Amino acid sequence: MRNRASAWFTFRLEGLQILRAAALENYPWLVHGFSTRAGGTSRLAGKRVLNLGHTDWDTRSHVRANRAKLLGALGAEQMKLVTVRQLHSDMIHELTEAPAKAISGDALITRTPGLVLGVQTADCVAILLVDPHQRAVAAIHAGWRGTLRRLAAKTLGRMQMVFGTRAEEVIAVLGPAIGQCCYEVGPEVAQGYAGQFSQARKWFDGPFDQLAAGEDSTPLKWLTRAPPGHEPPPSRVRLDLLAANHWQLVDAGVKPSNIVASDLCTACRTDLFFSYRRELGCTGRMLAVIGLTAE
Protein backbone atom coordinates (compact mmCIF):
# COMPACT_ATOMS: atom_id res chain seq x y z
CA MET A 1 0.00 0.00 0.00
CA ARG A 2 2.67 2.49 1.00
CA ASN A 3 5.41 3.77 -1.20
CA ARG A 4 9.02 3.17 -0.28
CA ALA A 5 11.26 5.67 1.46
CA SER A 6 12.71 6.69 -1.92
CA ALA A 7 9.42 8.51 -2.51
CA TRP A 8 10.50 10.96 0.21
CA PHE A 9 13.47 13.14 0.87
CA THR A 10 14.56 15.32 3.79
CA PHE A 11 15.24 18.99 3.14
CA ARG A 12 17.66 20.50 5.69
CA LEU A 13 18.23 24.21 6.27
CA GLU A 14 19.36 26.18 9.32
CA GLY A 15 18.79 23.28 11.68
CA LEU A 16 15.36 22.37 10.28
CA GLN A 17 14.54 19.00 8.77
CA ILE A 18 11.52 19.07 6.47
CA LEU A 19 10.08 15.99 4.77
CA ARG A 20 8.93 16.38 1.20
CA ALA A 21 7.33 14.01 -1.28
CA ALA A 22 9.22 13.41 -4.52
CA ALA A 23 5.88 13.09 -6.34
CA LEU A 24 5.23 16.81 -5.79
CA GLU A 25 8.65 18.11 -6.76
CA ASN A 26 7.86 18.39 -10.47
CA TYR A 27 5.48 21.31 -9.96
CA PRO A 28 7.36 24.64 -9.67
CA TRP A 29 4.13 26.41 -8.70
CA LEU A 30 3.75 24.25 -5.60
CA VAL A 31 5.12 24.65 -2.06
CA HIS A 32 4.81 21.79 0.40
CA GLY A 33 6.44 20.10 3.36
CA PHE A 34 6.00 18.14 6.59
CA SER A 35 7.89 19.61 9.53
CA THR A 36 9.80 17.61 12.14
CA ARG A 37 10.71 18.59 15.69
CA ALA A 38 14.29 19.61 14.88
CA GLY A 39 15.46 23.23 15.21
CA GLY A 40 13.26 26.15 16.15
CA THR A 41 13.30 28.59 19.03
CA SER A 42 11.07 26.73 21.49
CA ARG A 43 12.48 24.68 24.36
CA LEU A 44 10.97 21.39 25.49
CA ALA A 45 12.68 19.13 28.02
CA GLY A 46 15.80 21.26 27.71
CA LYS A 47 16.06 20.93 23.92
CA ARG A 48 15.35 23.36 21.10
CA VAL A 49 12.37 22.25 19.07
CA LEU A 50 10.28 23.52 16.17
CA ASN A 51 6.90 23.75 17.88
CA LEU A 52 4.40 25.10 15.37
CA GLY A 53 1.21 24.94 17.48
CA HIS A 54 -0.09 27.05 20.36
CA THR A 55 0.47 24.89 23.44
CA ASP A 56 0.31 25.61 27.17
CA TRP A 57 4.07 25.32 27.66
CA ASP A 58 5.20 27.54 24.78
CA THR A 59 4.85 31.24 23.99
CA ARG A 60 3.03 32.70 21.01
CA SER A 61 6.14 34.64 20.04
CA HIS A 62 8.13 31.39 19.80
CA VAL A 63 5.43 29.80 17.65
CA ARG A 64 5.33 32.83 15.33
CA ALA A 65 9.11 32.71 14.98
CA ASN A 66 9.04 28.97 14.29
CA ARG A 67 6.36 29.36 11.64
CA ALA A 68 8.29 32.14 9.97
CA LYS A 69 11.41 29.96 9.98
CA LEU A 70 9.50 27.09 8.35
CA LEU A 71 8.07 29.32 5.62
CA GLY A 72 11.49 30.81 5.02
CA ALA A 73 13.06 27.39 4.63
CA LEU A 74 10.42 26.53 2.03
CA GLY A 75 10.93 29.79 0.15
CA ALA A 76 7.41 30.86 1.10
CA GLU A 77 8.20 33.79 3.39
CA GLN A 78 6.11 36.13 1.23
CA MET A 79 3.09 33.83 1.34
CA LYS A 80 0.29 33.85 3.92
CA LEU A 81 0.02 30.81 6.21
CA VAL A 82 -3.56 29.81 7.04
CA THR A 83 -4.35 27.29 9.78
CA VAL A 84 -7.54 26.29 11.57
CA ARG A 85 -8.66 25.59 15.10
CA GLN A 86 -8.88 21.84 14.74
CA LEU A 87 -11.91 20.05 16.16
CA HIS A 88 -11.57 16.46 14.90
CA SER A 89 -14.55 17.29 12.71
CA ASP A 90 -15.53 17.01 9.04
CA MET A 91 -15.65 20.80 8.52
CA ILE A 92 -13.99 21.94 5.27
CA HIS A 93 -13.19 25.54 4.31
CA GLU A 94 -12.68 26.81 0.78
CA LEU A 95 -10.34 29.81 0.80
CA THR A 96 -10.12 32.52 -1.84
CA GLU A 97 -8.14 34.81 0.48
CA ALA A 98 -6.66 34.73 3.96
CA PRO A 99 -9.48 34.84 6.51
CA ALA A 100 -9.80 37.99 8.61
CA LYS A 101 -10.34 35.99 11.79
CA ALA A 102 -9.63 32.52 13.11
CA ILE A 103 -11.67 29.69 11.62
CA SER A 104 -12.45 26.24 12.98
CA GLY A 105 -12.41 22.94 11.11
CA ASP A 106 -10.08 20.21 9.92
CA ALA A 107 -9.60 20.68 6.19
CA LEU A 108 -8.74 23.57 3.87
CA ILE A 109 -8.90 23.81 0.08
CA THR A 110 -7.82 26.55 -2.32
CA ARG A 111 -6.55 27.40 -5.76
CA THR A 112 -5.61 30.95 -4.81
CA PRO A 113 -1.88 31.68 -5.23
CA GLY A 114 -0.08 33.16 -2.24
CA LEU A 115 -1.83 31.07 0.43
CA VAL A 116 -0.13 28.28 2.34
CA LEU A 117 -2.59 25.84 3.93
CA GLY A 118 -1.42 24.20 7.15
CA VAL A 119 -2.71 21.51 9.51
CA GLN A 120 -1.16 20.64 12.87
CA THR A 121 -0.39 17.09 13.95
CA ALA A 122 1.25 15.19 16.78
CA ASP A 123 0.09 11.64 15.86
CA CYS A 124 -2.90 12.23 13.56
CA VAL A 125 -2.57 11.88 9.79
CA ALA A 126 -1.86 14.99 7.74
CA ILE A 127 -3.04 14.55 4.15
CA LEU A 128 -2.10 16.85 1.28
CA LEU A 129 -4.08 16.68 -1.96
CA VAL A 130 -2.93 18.20 -5.24
CA ASP A 131 -4.93 18.58 -8.44
CA PRO A 132 -2.20 19.38 -11.00
CA HIS A 133 -4.64 20.20 -13.78
CA GLN A 134 -6.83 22.69 -11.93
CA ARG A 135 -3.94 23.81 -9.71
CA ALA A 136 -5.95 23.23 -6.58
CA VAL A 137 -4.70 21.93 -3.24
CA ALA A 138 -6.00 20.72 0.11
CA ALA A 139 -4.63 20.15 3.60
CA ILE A 140 -6.47 17.69 5.85
CA HIS A 141 -6.14 16.76 9.53
CA ALA A 142 -7.44 13.22 10.05
CA GLY A 143 -7.42 11.58 13.46
CA TRP A 144 -9.62 8.60 14.22
CA ARG A 145 -12.72 10.82 14.40
CA GLY A 146 -12.01 12.64 11.14
CA THR A 147 -11.23 9.34 9.46
CA LEU A 148 -14.46 7.87 10.78
CA ARG A 149 -16.30 10.87 9.32
CA ARG A 150 -14.61 10.22 5.93
CA LEU A 151 -12.99 13.65 5.91
CA ALA A 152 -10.46 12.80 3.18
CA ALA A 153 -13.19 11.63 0.81
CA LYS A 154 -15.41 14.61 1.67
CA THR A 155 -12.57 17.04 1.02
CA LEU A 156 -11.93 15.46 -2.36
CA GLY A 157 -15.65 15.70 -3.06
CA ARG A 158 -15.64 19.40 -2.24
CA MET A 159 -12.73 19.92 -4.64
CA GLN A 160 -14.71 18.13 -7.33
CA MET A 161 -17.70 20.41 -6.77
CA VAL A 162 -15.96 23.78 -6.61
CA PHE A 163 -12.85 23.27 -8.75
CA GLY A 164 -13.92 20.58 -11.21
CA THR A 165 -11.27 18.24 -9.84
CA ARG A 166 -11.12 14.72 -11.26
CA ALA A 167 -10.22 12.16 -8.60
CA GLU A 168 -8.10 10.06 -10.95
CA GLU A 169 -5.79 13.04 -11.54
CA VAL A 170 -5.23 13.86 -7.85
CA ILE A 171 -1.95 13.20 -6.05
CA ALA A 172 -2.36 12.39 -2.34
CA VAL A 173 0.44 12.51 0.21
CA LEU A 174 -0.04 11.10 3.73
CA GLY A 175 2.56 12.29 6.21
CA PRO A 176 4.11 10.65 9.28
CA ALA A 177 1.53 9.59 11.87
CA ILE A 178 1.15 7.17 14.74
CA GLY A 179 1.41 3.65 13.37
CA GLN A 180 -0.69 0.60 14.05
CA CYS A 181 2.22 -0.64 16.16
CA CYS A 182 1.47 2.04 18.77
CA TYR A 183 -2.13 3.19 18.29
CA GLU A 184 -4.32 1.33 20.77
CA VAL A 185 -7.99 2.26 20.83
CA GLY A 186 -11.03 1.01 22.70
CA PRO A 187 -14.45 -0.51 21.96
CA GLU A 188 -16.07 2.79 21.01
CA VAL A 189 -13.64 3.21 18.12
CA ALA A 190 -14.00 -0.38 16.95
CA GLN A 191 -17.79 -0.13 17.08
CA GLY A 192 -17.80 3.19 15.24
CA TYR A 193 -15.65 1.87 12.39
CA ALA A 194 -17.57 -1.40 12.17
CA GLY A 195 -20.76 0.62 11.70
CA GLN A 196 -19.28 2.78 8.94
CA PHE A 197 -16.99 0.52 6.93
CA SER A 198 -17.62 -3.07 5.83
CA GLN A 199 -13.86 -3.65 5.50
CA ALA A 200 -12.93 -2.07 8.85
CA ARG A 201 -11.54 -5.25 10.41
CA LYS A 202 -8.66 -5.11 7.90
CA TRP A 203 -7.43 -1.94 9.62
CA PHE A 204 -7.37 -3.35 13.16
CA ASP A 205 -5.09 -5.73 15.00
CA GLY A 206 -6.51 -7.51 18.03
CA PRO A 207 -9.98 -8.72 19.07
CA PHE A 208 -11.81 -6.41 16.67
CA ASP A 209 -14.87 -8.62 16.11
CA GLN A 210 -15.40 -9.00 19.85
CA LEU A 211 -15.12 -5.29 20.59
CA ALA A 212 -17.13 -4.26 17.54
CA ALA A 213 -19.97 -6.54 18.63
CA GLY A 214 -19.89 -5.09 22.16
CA GLU A 215 -19.15 -8.49 23.66
CA ASP A 216 -17.78 -8.72 27.19
CA SER A 217 -14.73 -10.96 27.34
CA THR A 218 -15.56 -11.83 30.99
CA PRO A 219 -19.37 -12.04 31.24
CA LEU A 220 -19.24 -13.81 34.63
CA LYS A 221 -17.13 -11.18 36.32
CA TRP A 222 -18.06 -12.35 39.82
CA LEU A 223 -16.01 -15.51 39.17
CA THR A 224 -12.85 -13.56 38.45
CA ARG A 225 -13.43 -10.48 40.58
CA ALA A 226 -10.20 -8.76 41.60
CA PRO A 227 -9.62 -6.31 44.46
CA PRO A 228 -10.24 -2.63 43.60
CA GLY A 229 -7.38 -1.25 41.54
CA HIS A 230 -6.29 -4.70 40.36
CA GLU A 231 -8.81 -5.31 37.61
CA PRO A 232 -7.32 -6.37 34.26
CA PRO A 233 -7.27 -3.62 31.64
CA PRO A 234 -10.15 -3.59 29.13
CA SER A 235 -9.60 -5.21 25.76
CA ARG A 236 -8.00 -2.97 23.17
CA VAL A 237 -7.27 -3.07 19.45
CA ARG A 238 -4.70 -1.26 17.32
CA LEU A 239 -5.88 0.91 14.45
CA ASP A 240 -4.01 1.62 11.21
CA LEU A 241 -5.09 5.19 10.40
CA LEU A 242 -2.96 5.34 7.26
CA ALA A 243 -4.59 2.21 5.82
CA ALA A 244 -8.07 3.56 6.56
CA ASN A 245 -7.38 6.87 4.82
CA HIS A 246 -5.63 5.16 1.91
CA TRP A 247 -8.74 3.04 1.35
CA GLN A 248 -11.01 6.11 1.51
CA LEU A 249 -9.01 7.90 -1.16
CA VAL A 250 -8.94 4.88 -3.48
CA ASP A 251 -12.66 4.33 -2.91
CA ALA A 252 -13.22 7.97 -3.87
CA GLY A 253 -11.40 7.45 -7.17
CA VAL A 254 -7.76 8.33 -6.49
CA LYS A 255 -5.34 5.99 -8.26
CA PRO A 256 -3.32 3.85 -5.82
CA SER A 257 -0.19 4.77 -7.79
CA ASN A 258 -0.91 8.44 -7.01
CA ILE A 259 -0.91 7.93 -3.24
CA VAL A 260 2.28 8.28 -1.22
CA ALA A 261 2.22 7.44 2.49
CA SER A 262 4.98 7.64 5.06
CA ASP A 263 5.98 4.56 7.05
CA LEU A 264 7.43 6.63 9.90
CA CYS A 265 5.56 6.24 13.20
CA THR A 266 5.47 9.41 15.27
CA ALA A 267 5.20 7.47 18.53
CA CYS A 268 8.18 5.26 17.70
CA ARG A 269 10.30 8.17 16.44
CA THR A 270 10.02 10.92 19.05
CA ASP A 271 13.60 11.78 18.12
CA LEU A 272 12.13 13.13 14.86
CA PHE A 273 8.49 13.92 15.58
CA PHE A 274 6.11 15.09 18.27
CA SER A 275 3.79 12.40 19.64
CA TYR A 276 0.89 13.39 21.87
CA ARG A 277 0.33 9.81 22.95
CA ARG A 278 3.93 8.76 23.57
CA GLU A 279 4.78 12.04 25.32
CA LEU A 280 1.58 12.00 27.41
CA GLY A 281 0.27 15.27 26.04
CA CYS A 282 3.33 17.39 26.90
CA THR A 283 4.60 17.87 23.39
CA GLY A 284 4.62 20.24 20.43
CA ARG A 285 2.86 20.29 17.10
CA MET A 286 4.14 19.75 13.59
CA LEU A 287 2.73 21.40 10.49
CA ALA A 288 1.98 19.89 7.11
CA VAL A 289 1.76 22.72 4.60
CA ILE A 290 0.87 23.16 0.95
CA GLY A 291 0.31 26.18 -1.22
CA LEU A 292 0.43 27.72 -4.69
CA THR A 293 3.05 30.27 -5.59
CA ALA A 294 2.30 33.32 -7.68
CA GLU A 295 4.04 31.76 -10.72
Pick the CATH number of 5-178+255-292 from 3.20.20.120, 3.60.140.10, 3.40.50.300, 3.40.50.1100: 3.60.140.10
DSSP character string of the chain: -PPPGGGEEEEEETTEEEEEEGGGTT-TTEEEEEE-SSSSSEEETTEEE---S--TTS-HHHHHHHHHHHHHHTT-TTSEEE--B--SS--EEEESS--SS--B-SEEEE--TTEEEEEEESSSEEEEEEETTTTEEEEEEE-HHHHHTTHHHHHHHHHHHHH---GGG-EEEE--B--TTT-EE-HHHHHHHHHH-TTGGGGEESSHHHHHTT--S-S-GGGS---TT-PPPPP-EEE-HHHHHHHHHHHTT--GGGEEE---BTTT-TTTS--TTTTTT----EEEEEEE---
Q: Please tell me the distance from the alpha carbon of residue 89 to that of residue 85, in angstroms, as a whole number.
A: 10
Q: Is the pLDDT of residue 2 over 50?
A: no
Q: What percent of the chain has pLDDT over 90?
A: 88
Query: Is the pTM here over 0.85, yes or no?
Result: yes
Q: Where are the domains of the chain?
A: 5-178+255-292, 184-221+231-237
Q: Is the pLDDT of residue 223 over 80?
A: no
pLDDT tens across 147-203, in order? 999 999 999 999 999 999 999 999 999 999 999 999 999 999 999 999 999 999 999
* Amino acid in position 166: R
pLDDT tens across 34-70, in order? 999 999 999 999 999 999 999 999 999 999 999 999 9
What pLDDT, on a 0 to 100 scale, did the predictor assign at position 58?
A: 97
* Average pLDDT of the residues in 13-32: 95
pLDDT-derived band at 224 (thresholds 50, 70, 90) equals low
pLDDT tens across 283-294, in order? 999 999 999 998
